C-alpha cells in the first residue's frame, strides 16, 4: 500500500462516518498493546513529531500509563507547531495528565543541544511516519542518531522515521527499529526496506473497513497533481474531443468545458463544419476545428489523426450521431489511436457505434456507459435482474472483464471496473437526469487522465467530482439545474476539505 493510498483511505473513512480521532486512538492503543506484549513493565520514552505519527505516540503514552509503565514523551518541536488537529487534542490531554499522580514526563525540544541519552526500557519512534522527504532537519536528525545509539528496545510507529515510505530507501539517517507497528495494511516502503531498519513488522487493524478503499470520497482528491510554479501552457493536459454533428453540438461543448473546469490546459474539439459555429458559441475557451460534412466520416480521419498526435487524451463519441459512416470512422479512428498507445475515453454515441472486438484487448481505454449503453455494448440479450447489491456488482464486474480496459458504469451508484479492481461512487442527485451530465463526466474523466492520474484513479475521482458538482448545483437551484450550470460547480467539487491538513 502506497502512503497516498493510506491517506486517501483515512480521509474517506471519515467521510463514511469514522472520525480520524477514532483511528488515531486505535493506532496508539495498538502500539501500546504490542509493547505490553514485549515487556511487562518498565519505562518507555516516546520521541514524537508534529504530525499524525506524533499523535499516535501521544495516544500510546496514555495507554501505556494505564498499563503501569513510566512514560516520558519528548516532543521535537514547540506544541504550537503540531499540525494535526487530532494530534493537538491528544497532546492537550497529556498536558492535563502531567498534573496527575501518573508517572508521566513531558519534554519539549526546540534545539538538538537539549537532547540527552534516554535511560529507558523502550524507545518509541513516533517522529515522522510517512511524512518524510529528503534530508532531515534538526532536532529530528540528532534525535534519530540518539535513538540508534541506545540499547533500549526500539519500536517504530507505522514506518521507521527516515525510511522513504514508497521505496524503502534512506536519503539521510533512519531509525533502526527492533519492531515496526504499522496500520491497516503493509506499506510498500516496508516491504522494500532494509530489515535491519524495520525489525519485525506487525500489521495492526485500526478499524478501517474494506469499503473505505472501495467507495470514493474526498480523500481521492488528494490524488490531484500539485502544479509546479514553473509549469507552462499545455503541460497539465491537452485533450482532443471528437464528436458533434449537425443535430448535436451541445454534447462535445459540455464535455470540453467540464474538462477545462477540472484542470485541463487545452481542449480542442474536432467536429463536422455544421457543428463548428454552434460549439464555438458556447465558449471562447474551446478550440474548435471543423471538417466538411454534417456528420463525422472516414474522409475526416487524416486530419483528425494529425490532431491526435499533439494531445494527451482523446474523448470520442459525444454528440456524434448514429450515422453508419460515423461508426466506420470511429472504428478506424480508434484502431489508429491504439497503435499510438494513446489514452481513449469512449462515451455516448461512440459506445453505440464502436465494436467491442475493436477495443477489447486495449488496456488504455475508458468506457463511460449508462446501463442501457452497457447492455448494448456487451450484447446482453436478457435483462440483468438482481436485487442484492453485492451480487449486482459482481455480475456487472464479470461482464466488464470481457475487455481489458476500464468500464465506468453510470447509475445511482457508479461502478468502476478494471481487471480485479472495483471502485464505487455514491455522489450525485436525481437532478442529474437532465441531459448533458454524462458528457460532463466524460470530459472530467479525460481531463484527470490527461493530467497524469492512473486509469482507475481518473475514472473513480471523475465520478466523485461530477456527482458532487451535481449535489452543489442542486443546493443552489433545486432539481431545476442544467448541465451547463452544473459545470460551474466543478472547481468547488474539487476542493479538498480543510480537515485534511496534517494527516501525515
Residues in binding site: 52-56, 125, 129-135, 158, 161, 251, 319, 370, 438-439
Q: Give the list of residues 6+ apart from residue 104 with CB closer than 8 angstroms, or none.
A: 61, 65, 71, 72, 73, 94, 97, 98
CA-based R_g, the chain, Å = 27
Look at strands 365-367 and 406-409 and give their pairing.
Answer: parallel
The residues pairing with 268 across neighbouring beta strands, listed in sequence order, are: 240, 287
**Which three-class secondary structure state does DSSP give residue 488?**
coil
Cell numbers linked to 83? 499540525
Name the nearest CA neighbour of 210 among 4, 363, 424: 424
Quote the CA–CA distance of 175 and 150 in Å, as a whole number: 11
Quote the CA–CA distance of 321 and 293 in Å, as a whole number: 13
Quote the CA–CA distance of 347 and 446 in Å, as a whole number: 11
Q: Are 122 and 43 in contact (CB under 8 A)?
A: yes
Q: Is 388 exposed, middle or buried (0-12, 13-18, 19+ CB in 10 A)?
A: exposed
Q: Write the DSSP symbol of residue 11.
A: H
Q: Is 170 exposed, middle or buried (0-12, 13-18, 19+ CB in 10 A)?
A: middle
Name the nearest CA neighbour of 46 among 34, 32, 33: 32
Please provide the DSSP assignment of 412-471 as one string: SSEEEEETTEEEEE----GGGGSTTHHHHHHHHHHHHHHTT--HHHHHHHHHHHHHHHHH
Quote the CA–CA distance of 465 and 184 in Å, as a whole number: 27
Cell numbers linked to 144? 534519530
Residues in binding site for AMP: 438
Quote the CA–CA distance of 350 and 324 in Å, as a whole number: 12
Name the nearest CA neighbour of 318 among 416, 410, 442: 442
Convert 221-244 to b/e letters by CB count within 10 Å (16 or more is b).
bbbbeeeeeeeeeeebbbbbbbbb
Q: Are 343 and 452 in contact (CB under 8 A)?
A: no
Cell numbers linked to 307? 490532431
Residues in binding site for (6S)-NADPHX: 52-56, 129-135, 158, 251, 319, 370, 439
Residues in binding site for K(+): 53, 125, 161
Amino acid at each position: 500500500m502506497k502512503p497516498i493510498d493510506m491517506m486517501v483511505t483515512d480521509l474517506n473513512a471519515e467521510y463514511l462516518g469514522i472520525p480520524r480521532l477514532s483511528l488515531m486512538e486505535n493506532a496508539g492503543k495498538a502500539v501500546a498493546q504490542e509493547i505490553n506484549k514485549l515487556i511487562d513493565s518498565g519505562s518507555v520514552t516516546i520521541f514524537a513529531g508534529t504530525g499524525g505519527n506524533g499523535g499516535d505516540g501521544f495516544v500510546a503514552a496514555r495507554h501505556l500509563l494505564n498499563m503501569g509503565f513510566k512514560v516520558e514523551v519528548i516532543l521535537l518541536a514547540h506544541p504550537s507547531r503540531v499540525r494535526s488537529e487530532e494530534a493537538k487534542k491528544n497532546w492537550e490531554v497529556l498536558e492535563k495528565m502531567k498534573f496527575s499522580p501518573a508517572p508521566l514526563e513531558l519534554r519539549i525540544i526546540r534545539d538538538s543541544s537539549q537532547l540527552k541519552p534516554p535511560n529507558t526500557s523502550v524507545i518509541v519512534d513516533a517522529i515522522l511516519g510517512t511524512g518524510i522527504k529528503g534530508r532531515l532537519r534538526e532536532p529530528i536528525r540528532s534525535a534519530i542518531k540518539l535513538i540508534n545509539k541506545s540499547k533500549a528496545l526500539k519500536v517504530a510507529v507505522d514506518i521507521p522515521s527516515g525510511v522513504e515510505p514508497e521505496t524503502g530507501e534512506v536519503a539521510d539517517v533512519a531509525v533502526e527499529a527492533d519492531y515496526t507497528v504499522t496500520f491497516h495494511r503493509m506499506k510498500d516502503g516496508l516491504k522494500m526496506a532494509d530489515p535491519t531498519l524495520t525489525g519485525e513488522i506487525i500489521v495492526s487493524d485500526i478499524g478501517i473497513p474494506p469499503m473505505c478503499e472501495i467507495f470514493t470520497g474526498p480523500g481521492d482528491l488528494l490524488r490531484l497533481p500539485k502544479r509546479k510554479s514553473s509549469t507552462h501552457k499545455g503541460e497539465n493536459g491537452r485533450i482532443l474531443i471528437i464528436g458533434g454533428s449537425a443535430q448535436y453540438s451541445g454534447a462535445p461543448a459540455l464535455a470540453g468545458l467540464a474538462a477545462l473546469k477540472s484542470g485541463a490546459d487545452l481542449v480542442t474539439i474536432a467536429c463536422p463544419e455544421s457543428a463548428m459555429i454552434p460549439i464555438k458559441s458556447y465558449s471562447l475557451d474551446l478550440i474548435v476545428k471543423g471538417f466538411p460534412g454534417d456528420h463525422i466520416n472516414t474522409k475526416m480521419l487524416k486530419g483528425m489523426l494529425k490532431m491526435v498526435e499533439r494531445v494527451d487524451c482523446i474523448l470520442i463519441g459525444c454528440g456524434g450521431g448514429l450515422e453508419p459512416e460515423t461508426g466506420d470512422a470511429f472504428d478506424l479512428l480508434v484502431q489508429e489511436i491504439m497503435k499510438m498507445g494513446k489514452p481513449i475515453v469512449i462515451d455516448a454515441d461512440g459506445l453505440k457505434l464502436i465494436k467491442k472486438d475493436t477495443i477489447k484487448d486495449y488496456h488504455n481505454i475508458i468506457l463511460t456507459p449508462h446501463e442501457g449503453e452497457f447492455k448494448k455494448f456487451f450484447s446482453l440479450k436478457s435483462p440483468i435482474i438482481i436485487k442484492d447489491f453485492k451480487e449486482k456488482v459482481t455480475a456487472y464486474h464479470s461482464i466488464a472483464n470481457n475487455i481489458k480496459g476500464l468500464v465506468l458504469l453510470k447509475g445511482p451508484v457508479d461502478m468502476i471496473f478494471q481487471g480485479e479492481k472495483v471502485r464505487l461512487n455514491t455522489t450525485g442527485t436525481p437532478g442529474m437526469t437532465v441531459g448533458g451530465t454524462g458528457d460532463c463526466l466524460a470530459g472530467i474523466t479525460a481531463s484527470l487522465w490527461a493530467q497524469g492520474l492512473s486509469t482507475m484513479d481518473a475514472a473513480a475521482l471523475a465520478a466523485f467530482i461530477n456527482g458532487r458538482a451535481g449535489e452543489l448545483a442542486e443546493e443552489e437551484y433545486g432539481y431545476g439545474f442544467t448541465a451547463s450550470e452544473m459545470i460551474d460547480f466543478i472547481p468547488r467539487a474539487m476542493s479538498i476539505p480543510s480537515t485534511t491538513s496534517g494527516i501525515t
